[in-house]
Amino acid sequence: MKYQEPLIHGKLVQRYKRFLADVELDSGEIITAHCTNSGSMKSCLEEGAEVYLSPVNDPKRKTQYTWEMIKLNGKWVGINTAIPNRLAFESLQEKSIPGLDDYEVVKREVTFGDSRFDLYVEKEGESCFIEVKNVTMKEGEMALFPDAVTTRGQKHLETLIKVKQTGMRAVMLYIIQRMDVDAFGPAAAIDPLYAEKLHKACVAGVEVIPLQVEVSPFEIRIHKILPFVDLG
């Protein structure tokens, strides 16, 4: 996935009010950018770190920049939560996600029961619902999700179990936007109920695909599927 316009370089001054970040551009000007990540962004914040922003050509929007990534320990970490859905959709169309590379129909925002899932795919004889989550948090060499309690995420797991019970395929696709980790698991210390429901979903046959991607100021590319550590 390539960025549609050149990104703008700067340094992080501070992130505040969840959705705002002050950034010092290379010109010395300090601007306010929109932060799409409403979580704690634990392990993703470092004042003075290099960042890249995307310009927004919408005069109605209060902030004219969106924060895309931050450089931590020499590597770029993608923090824009809108990217994983777009990346997953494009990659499914291109048949480039291992294990999900043979579907002929790809749709976005499809409802099952009382939940709306990010993606729905199908081929002859098989239908599949896919929920996509953005992963940025790490502890040691582990990527973890979530970085804040997510009742919405818990509900998605419950509904994916129901999807599986109908005979369809159900997938949790975690897009890990950092390269300094080598495995993925639930952040049980932050949201123990989510970790418990994820374990139940796995037992019920819901598939977990932790997809690591390489982030750069020019593009985001699929790297590999990481091992999943089920803490249940």
Residues 113-133 pLDDT 10s:
889 999 999 999 899 999 999
Structure confidence at residue 213 (pLDDT): 98
Distance separating alpha carbons of residues 157 and 133, to the nearest angstrom: 12
C-alpha atoms less than 13 angstroms from C-alpha of 92 in its C-beta half-sphere: 25
Cβ proximity of 225 and 212 under 8 Å? yes
Predicted TM-score of the model (pTM):
0.93
Cβ proximity of 36 and 67 under 8 Å? yes
Structure confidence at residue 97 (pLDDT): 96
Distance separating alpha carbons of residues 206 and 112, to the nearest angstrom: 15
pLDDT in tens, 53-74: 999 988 888 899 999 999 999 9
Q: What angle is formed at CA 197 by the lines to CA 191 and CA 201, rounded to 5 degrees? A: 145
Distance separating alpha carbons of residues 33 and 66, to the nearest angstrom: 5
Q: For the chain, list the domains and their CATH numbers.
A: 8-78 (2.40.50.580), 83-225 (3.40.1350.60)
